[in-house]
Structures are given as C-alpha cells and as structure tokens.
Structure 1
Amino acid sequence: MASLAALSESFSHFYTITLALIFILILQLVTLIRSVTGYHSQDPITLAQYLEYIEDNNPTIHFSKKSTLEPNECTVCLSEIKEGENVRKLKCKHTFHRDCLDQWLQQYRATCPLCRTKVLPERIVAEFYRQQHEVEYDEEIVRAISAFYSIDRNRLF
C-alpha cells in the first residue's frame, strides 16, 4: 500500500511538472508569434502624438456665448462651459471642454460623446490602443509566470 501511495505522489509531481512545462512553452510560443508577425508596431503612436493629432483635426478654441445658440454645457463632465474656456467643436457641431473631450478620446472612444460620429480615423485609434495595451499585456504575462512559479514550489520538486 505504501508503494501505491509513493507511486501516486510521484505521478502527481510528474503531472505538475508537465503542466508547468506546457504553460511555459505556450507563453514562449505566444511571444515568438508576436515577434514574428510584427505585433510590436514599428512606429507606435505615443500619447503626445495622439493628443497632437486630436489638436490638428479639432483645434482648441476659446468659448464665446456670442458665437453659439447651443446650450453651453459640456455633456462629458455635465458642467457649464464658461466664457473664454478652452473647448473643441467637432465636425458634428457638438462642443466640449477640451480636456474632457481629450480624456474621452484617450479612453479609446473615437466618436463624439453625444452622436457617436467618428472624430478620429480608426487606424489612428487602433495604433494608439495597441501601443497602450502592449505594455499591459507584457506585464500580464510576467505576472502569470511569476504567479505560476510562486505556487507551491516545493510541490514541484
């Protein structure tokens, strides 16, 4: 009976080690595929470039109550837009505080917060999104490997 228990424990160790090796091989395969397919963008769009692109396509203006008949409320922050504040007026004619709209667009919503008209080309948003999440994805892989190695190391060997 003792030899059966020892055999069972040995099989359990072998099974755990096999799973560990498969897990490591899968992570290595994902990393290899990402590097071969060019997953890492050659020219990633940085936050500064993204904000510059927003500015180029939707320039900042100073709000003037005289120049608009629309209600002067930013529907992102739900605050009144006051005389002289920096705003962006989109092609769809909706107006928002500049910082509110920039934050909205940084959250990967390339559309007007009200009518969902496209504000930025999808290619630009996709490149920015990928660049922002590439780092997060790599960090998740490192955390997964670290967590795996920290799980009951004594059980493996």
Structure 2
Amino acid sequence: MANNTSTDSSDHTSASTTTIAIVLPALFVVRMARLDKSIKPQHFVDWMSKQTAEHPEITIAQNPLCVICLEEIEDAANIRGLGCLHPFHQQCLDDWYSRWNEYCPLCHRPIIQSTKAKGDASEEASRETSETSERAVTATSMV
C-alpha cells in the first residue's frame, strides 16, 4: 500500500514539473511579446529627436547612461524609451523585464502602462485624494 502512495506522489510531482516546464516558457514568450508590442526598440538618436519635439519643456541628457549596465547610450544604440522618458539599451531592458521586473529601474513607474492607467488622470487623482483623506481621518480618530 505504501508503494502505491509513493508512486502516486511521484506521478503527481512529475505531472506538476511537466506542467511548469510547458507553462512557464509560454508565459515568458507572451510577456516579451507584450513588451515588444508596447515599447518598440529604436535608435537612441531617433527616440531623442521625437521626445525633444513632443516634450520641449523637458531636457534629456545628451549622453545618458543606461542605469542597468552603467554604460553610456550611444546615438546608434538600440534602446527602449519608457513612458517616463528614461531610455535603456534594448537588451538591458529586455533582460530586466524578463526577470519579472515590472517597473522602471529609475523612477519605479510601470514599464508597460495598463489600459486602466491610460484612463482619465483626473479620476486617478480624485481617487488618490480620497484615499489620502480616508487615511488622515483614520489616523486622527486613532489619536
């Protein structure tokens, strides 16, 4: 009887391992495809020209560093520029994101904005103000 139990346990472990071996790589492929769809790789000089035109009020460093590898980003380098205007070498950001990091290494904003995050900013600000007020009321009532 004990042998059947150990065999059943072994079969269950083997099935779990097989499932993980199939599902995990598939999730990885989907995740990286989502990154490619959301943030297209481009040459740094092209990205910088576009950002300067779209955001004239913001100064972008002429020779920024990729804070992941700590190397200078050359004009011809393939980069991914995030919505927060932080550029990274394409390979560096791909590696960073592939390790299940969801946020910019510099400012911690989401690398890929969710559709909810792209919604009405005033609604988000209103919700944050409401939450702050609730915390303040809770804190004062505890005193």
Could you tell me the TM-score, scaled by structure 1's length? 0.49
In the alignment, is residue 99 of structure 1 matched against residue 98 of structure 2? no
Query: 1:56: how far off?
Result: 1.4
CA 1:92–1:31: 2 relative to 1, 3 Å: same
- TM-score for the superposition, normalised by structure 2: 0.53
- In the alignment, the residues of structure 1 paired with residue 107 and residue 9 of structure 2 have an alpha-carbon distance, to the nearest angstrom, of 43
| Structure 2: 5+ residue stretches without partners | 53-58, 115-143
Partners of 1:69 and 1:97 in 2: how far apart? 16
State the 1:51 CA deviation: 3.1
Which of the residues 23, 34, 44 maps onto 1:63? 44
For 1:46 and 1:108, how far apart are their aligned partners in 2?
9
Structure-1 residue corresponding to 2:121? none
How far, CA to CA, are the matches of 1:22 and 1:92 in structure 2? 55
Residues 75-114 of structure 1 deviation map (CA, whole Å, 9 limit, x = unaligned): 0000000112111111121110011100111112122122
Shift of 1:46: 5.3
1:75 matched to 2:67:
yes
The 1-side partners of 2:32 and 2:95 are apart by: 10
Compared CA separation, residues 106 and 69, structure 1 to 2 (3 A):
same
Q: Over residues 25-78 of structure 1, what are the superposed CA-to-partner deviations in whole Å (9 max), with x where a residue is unaligned?
A: 32334566x5xxx9865xx3453x443321210111211266462351000000
Contact 1:110 1:121 in 2 (8 A): no
RMSD: 3.5
Instruction: Return the match for 2:35 from 40, 51, 54.
Output: 54
> What pairs with 1:32-51 in structure 2 (closer than 5 Å)?
44-45=26-27, 47=29, 49-51=30-32
Greater RCO, CA 8 A, separation 6+: 1
Identity rate, percent: 23
| Secondary structure at 1:87 match in 2 | strand
Name the counterpart of 1:24: 7
How many corresponding residue pairs?
99
